């Protein structure tokens, strides 16, 4: 019986053929010491035809939860039982990762630099390289993030709920919440749309730390996507998905006074408009400002550093109506 020919994929001059599991280093640039720095990539190429899925972490170098998600997924992937191809990138911003930083050495945010420019800034060049080597090959992608420094995020997916493809992919993933989010100029999600790659952003946890509960939700979500795309069977023991709640928008509650912030609620808690959810005190514990919910919804983000300044965003609430 004649089978259809599946062409190899090429990464930084290295070809990967169906049935292969190969690790590749995509060179970025040299350090001042002339040592090469590269983006590590693992490619799992199935023996049967199917879509190409990219699992991407570390666009911000200090957001490491996605790295552990990818490492757990990788343990159970076998090209002999896979249809299509999976590209796994545990860390894109390798410079930020090594220095526990969100940014690149030039101070730029990589997630505001896509699709990049081969002759531009350091961030633009890395964005261009990643776009050419990985993003353009992918039909689907999950971009893993956490909250920024000093904050924590409840596990949720960010996508445009006005996009049928984006919403369907997010619902398949099965995170507790899906939050409508417009594409940001220069983001990986915007570039993915340009190159017809269906990409969703997973948010959860905090920087420079593995948050195990968040990781397991993300691992389960990836398996659900691979199952839906008929690429492989999910690992049943990790099936933790639930039906997602869809939030049409979200907003931050800001501190009215500088001081020490104490939140009375937890991530994932539902709140009602004008409900007392925290206080700002002085250094001795005297209450100087009460913090109330600005609307009904669910807490999906919060400041983890109790020291706050007037006007600082301290609680992120998803709005469901």
Report the pLDDT value the prediction gives residue 233, as an integer from 0 to 100. 79
Report the pLDDT value the prediction gives residue 1, as an integer from 0 to 100. 38
Which helix or strand (DSSP H or E) is residue 221 part of? Answer: helix 212-228
What are the backbone dihedrals phi and psi of residue 64, each rounded to the nearest 5 degrees, phi first? -105, -5
Report the pLDDT value the prediction gives residue 260, as an integer from 0 to 100. 98
Q: What tokens were used for 69? A: 């998600």
Q: How confident is the model at residue 241 (pLDDT cuts 50, 70, 90)?
A: low
Q: Are 85 and 53 in contact (CB under 8 A)?
A: yes
* CB within 8 Å of 16: residues ≥ 6 apart: 8, 9, 10, 22, 24, 43, 45, 85
- Show me where the domains of the chain are located: 9-246, 248-319
Q: Are 153 and 300 in contact (CB under 8 A)?
A: yes
Residue 40, pLDDT above cutoff 50: yes
What is the rounded average pLDDT for all residues in the chain?
Answer: 95
pLDDT digits (tens, 9 = 90+) for 137-189: 999 999 999 999 999 999 999 999 999 999 999 999 999 999 999 999 999 99
Return the residue matching tokens 């000093």: 150
Residue 102, pLDDT above cutoff 70: yes
CA pair distance 170, 221, nearest whole angstrom: 9
Q: Are 89 and 99 in contact (CB under 8 A)?
A: no
Number of Cβ within a 10 Å radius of residue 184: 14
pTM across the whole model:
0.95
Number of Cβ within a 10 Å radius of residue 307: 12
Report the pLDDT value the prediction gives residue 271, as an integer from 0 to 100. 98
Class of 248-319 in CATH: mainly beta
Residue by residue, DSSP assigns 228-278 as HTTSS---GGG----PPEEESEEEEEE-SS-EEEEESS-TT-EE-TT-EEE
CA pair distance 92, 227, nearest whole angstrom: 26
- 3-state SS class at 25: strand
Span 298-319, mean pLDDT?
A: 97
Q: What tokens were used for 304? A: 């983890």
Class of 9-246 in CATH: alpha beta
Query: 18-44 as b/e, with b when 16 or more CB fall inside 10 Å?
Result: bebbbebebebeeeeeeeeeebebbbb
Q: How far is CA 54 from CA 45, 88, 153, in A?
A: 12, 6, 23
Confirm whether 9-246 and 248-319 share one CATH topology.
no
Span 59-84, mean pLDDT?
A: 97
Which helix or strand (DSSP H or E) is residue 16 part of? Answer: strand 14-16
Q: What tokens were used for 149? A: 């420094």
pLDDT digits (tens, 9 = 90+) for 251-290: 999 999 999 999 999 999 999 999 999 999 999 999 999 9
- 3-state SS class at 12: coil
pLDDT digits (tens, 9 = 90+) for 182-239: 999 999 999 999 999 999 999 999 999 999 999 999 999 999 999 999 999 766 555 5
Q: How far is CA 176 from CA 17, 59, 205, 247, in A?
A: 37, 23, 13, 11
């Amino acid at each position: 019986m004649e089978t259809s020919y599946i062409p190899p994929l090429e990464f930084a001059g290295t070809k990967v053929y169906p049935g292969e599991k190969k690790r590749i280093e995509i060179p970025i640039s040299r350090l001042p010491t002339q040592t090469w720095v590269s983006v590590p990539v693992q490619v799992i190429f199935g023996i049967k035809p199917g879509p190409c899925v990219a699992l991407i972490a570390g666009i911000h170098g200090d957001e490491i939860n996605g790295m552990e998600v990818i490492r757990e997924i990788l343990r159970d992937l076998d090209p002999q039982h896979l249809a299509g191809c999976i590209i796994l990138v545990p860390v894109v911003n390798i410079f930020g990762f090594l220095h526990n930083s969100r940014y690149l050495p030039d101070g730029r945010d990589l997630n505001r630099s896509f699709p990049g420019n081969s002759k531009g800034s350091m961030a633009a060049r890395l964005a261009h390289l990643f776009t050419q080597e990985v993003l353009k090959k992918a039909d689907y992608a999950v971009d893993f993030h956490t909250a920024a420094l000093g904050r924590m995020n409840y596990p949720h997916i960010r996508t445009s709920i006005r996009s049928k493809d984006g919403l369907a992919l997010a619902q398949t993933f099965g995170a507790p919440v899906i939050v409508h989010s417009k594409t940001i100029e220069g983001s990986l999600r915007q570039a993915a749309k340009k190159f017809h790659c269906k990409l969703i952003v997973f948010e959860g946890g905090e920087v420079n730390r593995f948050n195990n509960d968040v990781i397991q939700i993300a691992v389960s979500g990836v398996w659900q996507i691979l199952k839906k795309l008929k690429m492989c069977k999910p690992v049943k023991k990790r099936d933790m998905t639930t039906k997602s709640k869809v939030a049409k928008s979200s907003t931050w509650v800001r501190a009215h006074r500088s001081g020490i912030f104490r939140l009375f609620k937890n991530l994932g808690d539902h709140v009602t408009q004008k409900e007392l959810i925290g206080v700002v005190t002085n250094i001795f514990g005297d209450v100087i400002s009460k913090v109330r919910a600005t609307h009904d919804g669910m807490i999906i983000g919060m400041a983890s550093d109790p020291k706050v300044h007037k006007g600082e965003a301290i609680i992120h609430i998803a709005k469901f109506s």
